[in-house]
Amino acid sequence: MKKILKRYRAFLVVVAAVLVLTIFNYELGMKALNITAYSLKEMILVIPPIFVLLGLLDIWVPRETMVKYMGEGSGLKGILLSIFIGFAAAGPLYGAFPVAAVFMKKGVKFSNILIFIGAWSTTKIPMFLFEVAALGTQFAVTRLLIDIPGIIIIAVILAKLVSKNEIKKIYQNAENFDH
């Protein structure tokens, strides 16, 4: 019980803050709670299948396969696959992090994981269609064409900025996520 309270401490603090906000500004507080309920509904809809897919991936796909396609020495193939998986994914950015954790467990190269996060964050195939409809083909295509080299460059810089030791720690941390 104490452990649960400790883990949810930050959440409880934010809940209390929102309740105080609601007392002082009823309209704003209710609006915030309504939007929260809406996002919660969205989360409940999208997140469970992502985690189930991750569980299945973790159990069924052997580490060697993932290493071969996306690990050290996977080269251009690994980069393209990382971009493609990021683009084809569904859900908000925070859904990408658990996927990254399983990729780490399976020995995917660090820069490929960063490219995957970048791709997930910039666009998705269904989102791209939305963007075209709302802002025009020229806007959406230009953004996509700048983003592809952009996410690769950002990934390379990030991989250089952190030490081997730090990367090792991040990978070890990923091992503990389903225990």
Looking at the Cβ atoms of 27 and 76, the one nearer to other proteins is 27
Assigned token pair, 116: 């995957």
Residue 174 touches other proteins, criterion: CB under 8 A: yes
Contact range with other proteins by CB under 8 A, out of 40-48, 64-72, 73-81: 40-48
Choose which of 26, 63, 168, 177 interacts with other proteins (CB under 8 A): 177
Name the one range near other proteins by CB under 8 A: 66-74, 76-84, 124-132.
124-132
The rounded distance, in Å, linking the Cα atoms of 12 and 150 is: 38
Tell the smallest beta-carbon distance from residue 2 to other proteins (Å): 14
| Contacting other proteins within 77-116 (CB under 8 A) | 90, 92-94, 97-98, 100-102, 114
Name the residue type at position 63. Answer: R
Residues contacting 72, CB < 8 A, separation 6+: 109
Residue recorded with tokens 């989102």: 127
Show contacts with other proteins in window 47-66 (CB under 8 A): 47-56, 58-60
Q: Which of residues 126-155 bind other proteins (CB under 8 A)?
A: 126-127, 130-131, 133-136, 138-139, 142-143, 146-147, 150, 154
CB 58 to other proteins: min, Å: 5
Token pair in block for residue 10: 């930050």
Where does residue 170 fall: left (phi above 0), alpha (psi -120 to 50 degrees), or beta otherwise?
A: alpha
Q: Terminus-to-terminus CA distance in the chain, angstroms?
A: 18
Among 166, 168, 172, 175, binds other proteins (CB under 8 A): 166
Q: List Cα–Cα distances, 46 to 12, 25, 89, 92, 99, in angstroms.
A: 24, 32, 11, 9, 13
